Amino acid sequence: MQDIPTSGKSGDAKPHRSIFERLTALIAPEPESRSELLTILHDAHERNLIDADALAMIEGVFQVSELSARDIMVPRAQMDVVDITKPIEEWLPMVLSTAHSRFPAVDGERDKVVGILMAKDLLRYYAEESFDIRRMLRTAVFIPESKRLNVLLGDFRAKHNHMAIVVDEYGGVAGLITIEDVLEQIVGDIEDEYDFDDDEDNILSIKAGEHGPRWRVKALTEIAQFNEEIGASLFNPDVDTIGGYIADHLGRMPHKGEVLDIDDLRFEILRADARHIHVVLVEKLPPAVSEDELAS
């Protein structure tokens, strides 16, 4: 009996390609470099074959393979550490205000990291009469500044670590890095309670504070827009954004939770990392009362 050719509609059949698609595949060469591949991916995004989030994550994966720990680490000077040679009462307020889940524990100075303290382990301080902070420490992981982020991410996953201490070529502490720092290079900033629902809203009015009206402000907000919407008169010819204005005013990158007053405005850093301010809380303060007004 002669076989009857199938119609090609079975579930196992490969999708039919047009003659034009097959000719294009023969003529167009495969990408020979990463830049050519990214060009193809950008073209696919422009033709709505992949969305912006997918493209951004793919680019993030490429970037992770090119960056090393020194590129994204929190520098030594900005590390929030606990000094176990001091009474717990001295550094406990810092633990509460920064709200990190783990802290490098040092023995007197920042170059002597002796372990990692989990914030949750401090609960034992209130439950145990003979609390020994050294017994609570987890083993610290040390890595060189040159370690590639893709290799580090694999180590984090394999060894179930979330933090590593970065050391320089002389063995001194250069900074620290967390698994969240690496993942944010791929997926962007990990959302928290301070993220905005609308990407277009740079300034969000929120419930008034103790002194006056308050706003949540993206650090990339232009100073001109900030002044117009909040009724301020900030000016700095060297910077364009609120985040840049704050960093230039301080002369350094502020910490999360840091508060500073500029004119009649109070700025609280809601979210920041070693390189950027992301979100700030702005509160309008009441006008300052002069000595003459107090005397009258």
Side-chain-side CA neighbours of residue 204 (13 Å): 16
Torsions phi, psi for 230 (to 5 deg): -100, -15
How confident is residue 175, by pLDDT bands cut at 50, 70 and 90? Answer: very high
How far is the C-alpha of 100 from the C-alpha of 81, rounded, in Å? 10
Give the pLDDT mean for 268-296: 74
Which residue in this structure is represented by tokens 């609308």?
198
Q: Would you tell me how many other CB atoms lie within 10 Å of the CB of residue 232?
A: 17
Based on its alpha-carbon atoms, the radius of gyration of the chain, rounded to whole angstroms, reads: 27
Average pLDDT of every residue of the chain: 81
How far is the C-alpha of 116 from the C-alpha of 9, rounded, in Å? 60
Torsions phi, psi for 142 (to 5 deg): -110, 135
Q: What's the CATH number for 71-187?
A: 3.10.580.10
Classify 258 as helix, strand or coil: coil
Tell me which of 28 and 141 has the higher pLDDT: 141
Write down the pLDDT at residue 199.
47
How far is the C-alpha of 281 from the C-alpha of 272, rounded, in Å? 12
Question: Hey, what are 241's tokens?
Answer: 């954004």
Q: Identify the weakest region by mean pLDDT among 13-22, 81-90, 226-235.
A: 13-22
For residue 248, what are the contacts with CB-CB under 8 A and spacing of at least 6?
Answer: 236, 238, 239
How confident is residue 23, by pLDDT bands cut at 50, 70 and 90? Answer: very low
Give the strand order in the sheet containing 82-83: 82-83, 102-106, 113-118
Classify 74 as helix, strand or coil: strand
Give the pLDDT mean for 116-128: 88
Which residue in this structure is represented by tokens 């959302």?
191
Same fold, 71-187 and 203-284: no
Which of 38, 187, 178 is closest to 102 using CA atoms?
178
Task: Among 3.30.465.10, 1.10.3720.10, 3.40.640.10, 3.30.70.100, name the CATH number for the domain at 203-284.
Answer: 3.30.465.10
For residue 81, what are the contacts with CB-CB under 8 A and spacing of at least 6?
Answer: 103, 104, 105, 106, 110, 113
Domain boundaries defined on the chain:
31-66, 71-187, 203-284
Tell me which of 60 and 80 has the higher pLDDT: 80
Tell me which of 16 and 46 has the higher pLDDT: 46
Q: Mind listing the pLDDT tens digit for each residue in 219-256? A: 989 999 999 999 999 999 989 999 999 999 998 888 87
Q: Could you tell me if 152 and 164 are in contact, meaning their C-beta atoms sit under 8 angstroms apart?
A: yes
Q: Mind listing the pLDDT tens digit for each residue in 182-228? A: 888 777 655 555 555 544 578 888 877 777 888 989 998 999 999 99
Question: Hey, what are 216's tokens?
Answer: 């949540």
Top-confidence range, 13-22, 32-41, 125-134, 166-175: 166-175
Question: Hey, what are 190's tokens?
Answer: 């990990």
Q: Could you tell me if 274 and 253 are in contact, meaning their C-beta atoms sit under 8 angstroms apart?
A: yes
Give the strand order in the sheet containing 259-262: 203-206, 214-218, 277-284, 265-272, 259-262
Write down the pLDDT at residue 211.
76
How far is the C-alpha of 190 from the C-alpha of 273, rounded, in Å? 12
Q: Is pLDDT at 21 greater than 90 in this prediction?
A: no
Which of 190, 186, 191, 148 is closest to 58 using CA atoms?
186
Write down the pLDDT at residue 144.
96
How confident is residue 97, by pLDDT bands cut at 50, 70 and 90? Answer: confident
Write down the pLDDT at residue 18.
61
Write down the pLDDT at residue 227.
94
Write down the pLDDT at residue 28.
52
